Amino acid sequence: MTHDEKENTSTKRQQLVGERDYLITTLPSRSEDELPGVLARLDDLRYEIVGDKRPARQLPWGDHRSDLMTWALYSSIALTIGKKFVDIPPTGKAAVAVKHLTHRVFMSADTLTTLRRYAEHEWNVDATSLLRILYDAMLQALYIIADPDQMEIRGELYEGFAAIEKYELIKRVDDDASAFSRRLSTSPLRANAEPRIQAEYQRRVDSYRKPGSNARPHNWYAHKIGTLKEIAEAVGYKDEYLLLTHDLGASVHSSAFALAPRPLFRPDVCLLFAWHFVVRLFGKIAERYRIELSSEERKETGRAYGNIYDLFQERFKEEKQG
C-alpha cells in the first residue's frame, strides 16, 4: 500500500468513526420509526471501520431499546479500539499475551451476540457459562497490563505456562489406561518431541512455584498471587468478582441452583455484561498503550470501569420486579 493509499484509508476510517459517534450521540433522540435504520447503519459501520466484510445473513436486534443501543455502541467501540491495537503493533511478551486474551474475550461476546440473534433454543445456562469464561480472560489481561514495570514478566509467564501444560498432558496420557492413550504413549514421534518438552518444563517450572515449594503449578500466576480472586482484587474488582463468579460458576458446574426454572441472569443481561467487560478491557488497553480514542470512546470506556452491579442497578431492579 502506497503512502497516499494509507492516508486515504486513515481519512476514510476517521470519517466512519465520526459518523458512528454522531449516530450514537443522537440515538436517545431518535423516534421509534428512525431507530431500526440507525441501528442497521451502526451495524454496518462496525465492520466498515475495521475493513471487514459483514456477515451475509442478518436478523434484527433484540426487543429492548436500551439493549439495541448498548450492543451497537459497545461492539462498535470494541472493534475500533481492537483494530487500533492491532495496527500499532505493540511488541513484547505482554502485547502477545494481551492479544490472545482480548481475542478470547471479544469472540466470546460475539458468540453470545450470535446466539441472541439466531438461536431458537433456550440458551440461558450457555450464556452464563460463556460470560464466566470471558470474565476470567478479562481479569487475566487486566492483571498483565496493570503494572508497567511487571508487564513483560507477566506476559512471559502467561506464554511460558504452555510448556508446563504440555508436560502435564504427557503425564496424564501415560497414567490413562484407554487404547487412545496407549497409542499416544507408544508413538514413535514421542522420542523426538518428549526430551525437548521435558527440558523446557524443567527450565520453567520453578518460575511458577512459590519459594520452597515443589507443588505442581496450577496456573501461570500461582507463584505470586495464587488465585483469580486475588487477581480481581489486584485490579480493583474483588467485590464484583465475588458476587458475579458465584452465580456464573454455578452454571459452569451445572448445579441445581443454576439449572432452576428461573435463570440466574436472562441471556440479554449476560450479553450486556459481556460487551461491558469487552469495552472495559479495551479501554484499559488503550490507556496502557496510549491509543488515541474519540470523545465517545473515552466516555464509554471510562463508564465501563465501574462495578457492573452499580452500573446496572436500575436494570436489576426491573428484573426483580418482573
99: closest CA among 116, 115, 82, 111?
82
- pLDDT of 143 reads 97
Q: What is the pLDDT of residue 59?
A: 35
d(CA 249, CA 129): 7
Among residues 291, 257, 275, 298, which one has the least CA distance to residue 66?
275
Contact 33, 91 (CB under 8 A): no
How many C-beta atoms surround the C-beta of residue 57 within 10 A? 7
pLDDT at 57 (0 to 100): 38
Contact indicator for 95, 89 with CB cutoff of 8 Å = yes
Query: What gap in Å lies between CA 234 and CA 83, rounded to an integer?
Result: 28
In which residue ranges of the chain is pLDDT below 50? 55-65, 319, 322
Question: 450514537: which residue's cell?
Answer: 24
Q: Provide the 8-state DSSP code for 235.
A: T
- CB of 320 within 8 A of CB of 117? no
pTM: 0.77
Structural domain that includes position 262: 3-321
Q: What are the Cα distances from residue 194, in Å, to 167, 175, 198?
A: 8, 16, 6
Return the pLDDT at 296.
82
As a whole-number percent, the residues of the chain with pLDDT over 90 amount to: 30
Asked whether 61 and 68 are in contact (CB, 8 A), the reply is yes
In the numeric block, which cell numbers belong to residue 252? 459452569
pLDDT of 315: 52
> What is the per-residue DSSP string for 75-112?
HHHHHHHHHHHHHS---SHHHHHHHHHHHHHHHHHHHH
Q: How many domains does the chain have?
A: 1
The three-state secondary structure class of 128 is helix
**Do the beta carbons of residue 293 and residue 286 sit within 8 Å?**
yes
Q: Which H or E run includes 131? A: helix 124-146
